[in-house]
Amino acid sequence: MSRLRSWDDVRAGWDRAVDAVVQQPPDSVTVRSAPLMSRLRAPDAAVMLAGAGGSGKSCMVKALTRHDPSGADPPRRSEEAELHRLDVTTPRGTRRIHLHVPPGQASYERDVELDRLLSDGFYPSGVVYTVAFGYDRFWEKEAIEFAAQTREAGGRIDLAALRRRKLGDENRTFARVCRLLGNAWHRSDGPVWLILAVTKTDLYWDRIGEARDHYIPGGAESSDADIAKLSHQFTDILEALTSQVGKQKLRVDVVPFSCMLENYAFGTELTARPKMDQADSRSLSRHFLSVLGERL
C-alpha cells in the first residue's frame, strides 16, 4: 500500500482523534510489559520515543503500559536512556517491540544515545515524538534561570512568554532529531513512520484547532506573530524530513494526546487548568494506541 499522503490526510487523522473524545471508542489495542521469561526474544520492531524534556514522555510510557493508567505519578526528569520491552496486541495479533527512550534533558547523555540509535546502520522503524504546544514543564533550575533572564531584559513573565520559550526549545530539539532521522531513514530500505504526539492537550482543549494548525503544514496562521514564526519553523523541519526520506517511504501522523490531568504552573503561579475530564483524556490515549497499533 502506498504511504504517500497529503497534509490534508494528516489533518483528517487529527480530526478523527478529536472526534474520539465524543465517541469514546472501546479499547482495540493493548500494550503490556513483556513477561520476564520471554525478554530475550528478538523484537519485531524497534521504536523510539523522543521529545524535549518536560513534554510528557515518562507519563506516556506509564499510561500506555498500564503501570499507572492515569499517568498520575509525579513527573520526573529523564536523565538516562530507557529500554522498554513491550507486547502490543491489536486485532491483527501481538507484536514485540523494543521502545527506546533517550533522555529528554539536553545533555551529553542524550546526544550519545541519539547518535547510537540513529547511526551505524541501526535505526528505529518508527518514532513517537512528543510535542506540547509550549506547555512543557519548566524544571526548577530552568525556571529560575528563565525568570532571571526575563527580568534582566525588562520582559514580562506570562503564559505567552513561557510558551514562546518552550516552542523555541522544541524546534531546536526537533531539528536535531530530524537531521539524524533523515540520514538514518534515507539509507533504510523498508517503510518507516513518525507519530507526532501533541501532549498535554487537556490544558488547551478549548484551542485544540490552534495546536493542529501549529504542527501540521498548511494550517491557519496564529494571530501571535512570534508563535506563527515558530510554527513555520517547525513545519519547515517536518516537511524537510518528509522530502529527504521520501513520501512513499515515510508515513506521518499528528495526533492529540493526554494521559494526566495536571495544572500548568510556573513557580508558585498557576497559569492553566485542565479543560477536559479523565474520561476524555482516556479516550485520547485509546485513540493514540489505535494509531500506534496500525503502524506496527
Residue 69: which domain range? Answer: 7-295
pLDDT score at 108: 66
Residue 2 counted as domain residue: no
Q: Is residue 1 part of a domain?
A: no
3-state secondary structure of 123: coil
Give domain status of residue 122, yes or no.
Answer: yes
State the cell numbers at 171. Answer: 524546534
Q: What mean pLDDT do residues 63-73 have?
A: 57
Domain count, the chain: 1
Residue 110 has pLDDT above 90, yes or no: no
Mean pLDDT (whole number) for 194-212: 97
The span from the CA of 94 to the CA of 29, in Å, is 10
Taking 90 as the threshold, does the pLDDT of residue 57 lie above it?
no
pLDDT above 50 for 224: yes
Higher pLDDT, 20 or 260: 20
pLDDT, one tens digit per residue, over 151-193 is: 777 777 788 888 998 999 999 999 999 999 999 898 888 899 9
Q: Using CA of residue 182, residue 184, residue 190, residue 192, what is the dihedral sign?
A: negative
DSSP conformational letter for 205: G
DSSP β-ladder status, 126-131 and 45-51: parallel
**% pLDDT > 90, the chain:** 47
Question: How far is the C-alpha of 116 from the C-alpha of 184, rounded, in Å?
Answer: 11
Question: What's the DSSP call for residue 263?
Answer: -
CB 272 within 8 A of CB 159: yes
What is the per-residue pLDDT for 232?
97
Q: Which residues pair with 130 in a beta bridge?
A: 51, 197
What's the pLDDT score for residue 210?
A: 97
The confidence band for 75, taking pLDDT boundaries of 50, 70 and 90, is: low
In a domain, 223, yes or no: yes
For residue 19, the domain's CATH number is: 3.40.50.300
